[in-house]
A and B are shown apart, each in its own frame.
Chain A
Amino acid sequence: MELFRITRNAWGQETLEGISWDLLPVAFGLGIAIIAGHLVWRALRKRSMGKR
C-alpha cells in the first residue's frame, strides 16, 4: 500500500502528487472501527450496569 502518489515528469524527476487514495478504505475502515468499538463498549457497560 502506497502512502503518497508520486509521478515522473518528462525529465524523469519524481514529483509529489498528493496522498495515496489507497488510504481511503483505511480512513473509512477506521470510522467503522470507532463505531463498532463504541457499540461493543456500550453493550458491555450496559450489561455490567444491569448486573449491579
Chain B
Amino acid sequence: MWDYSDKVKEHFFNPKNAGAVANANAIGEVGSISCGDALRLTLRVNEDTEVIEEAGFQTFGCGSAIASSSVLTEIIKGMTLDDALKVTNNDIAAELDGLPPEKMHCSVMGREALQAAVANYRGEEWRDDHEEGALVCKCFAIDAVMIEEMVWANKLRTVEDVTNYTKAGGGCAACHEDIEAILEKVLKERGETFDPNAAPIAKPIVAAADCMDAGARATHGAVAAKGPLTNLQRIKKIEEVLNSLRPQLMADGGDVELVEVVGNTAYVNMTGACNGCQMAAMTIAGIQQRLMEVLGEFIKVVPASQMPAPLVNIQEASHA
C-alpha cells in the first residue's frame, strides 16, 4: 500500500466539492492514459470579476487522484482565473503534505484539468503539452518519455548525461539499467551504438568551469588530489553549483539558498515549491551528490532547519 499522508487520506475519505457544479460555465476534462485516471472539473466563474465561485470534481481514479481533485477545488475556490492558473501541481501536492513519486502525476492531472477548464471558459482550445511514459527514476519522478526526448534533443550518450540533463538516475541509481536501455534504443535509432564507457558530453549549464569539464569529472579523484579547499573556495564552489542547479529547481517552482557552511556541512534553505515538497529530501541528496562530484570531497547537505542551535543564536544576535 502507498504511504499516503494523513492529508491525502482525509481528502480521500471525506472529499470536498464532489460532484458537478450546477450551471457551470467552465469545464475541464482530462485523463492520464498510463494510469487510467480521469477527472472532470466544473467551475462557476463570476463573469464580471472572473472569480471562481464554485468548483466541483468528478474523478475516476485512485485514492491520490480523488484527494488531488478534492484539494484542488478547495485551493481555487475564491481565486480569480489568473491566480488559479498560477497554481502548480507542486502546490497541489504540497497542500496534501506530499504525494509518493509514482503519484505525482495525479497532481499534474489536477493542474491540467484546471487549465482545460479555464481554456473552456475563455473559448480557447487547450492542448496538453506533455506525454507521460513509464516512470523510470523514482527518486526524481522522471518518466521514460521525458528521458527519451532529452536524449534526442541534446544528443545524450551516457547515463551521466541523462542525470545531468534530467536528474534521472541521480538518486539511488537503481534505474541505471533502464536508462541504459533507453540510450541503447535511441542511439540505435540515431545510427550509433551505446558505449557505457563513453565520455559524458558537456554539462547543460556550465558552471565552476574548471571542475565541470568532462575530463576533470571523469577523474574527479584528481581534483581532490590538488589539496584541500579553503573554506572560501569551498563556499564559492558551492554557490556556483547551486547556481547551476537553480534553473532546474525554478522550473519546478522552487529554489535553494545557501545559509551556512560549517566544515564539510552545507546548510541550505529549500524555498518555494521545494519547501515542504516530499521530494525535497531527494533533491537535497541530488545536490549533495553534485557538490561531491564538483568539489571532489565529501560534503553533507543539510536543511538549515537542522542547523545546531548555537549557530542560530549567534545569527539572531548579530541581527539584533
Q: Report if A and B associate in a common complex.
A: no
- Which chain B residues have a beta carbon within 8 Å of chain A's beta carbons? none
- Which chain A residues have a beta carbon within 8 Å of chain B's beta carbons? none
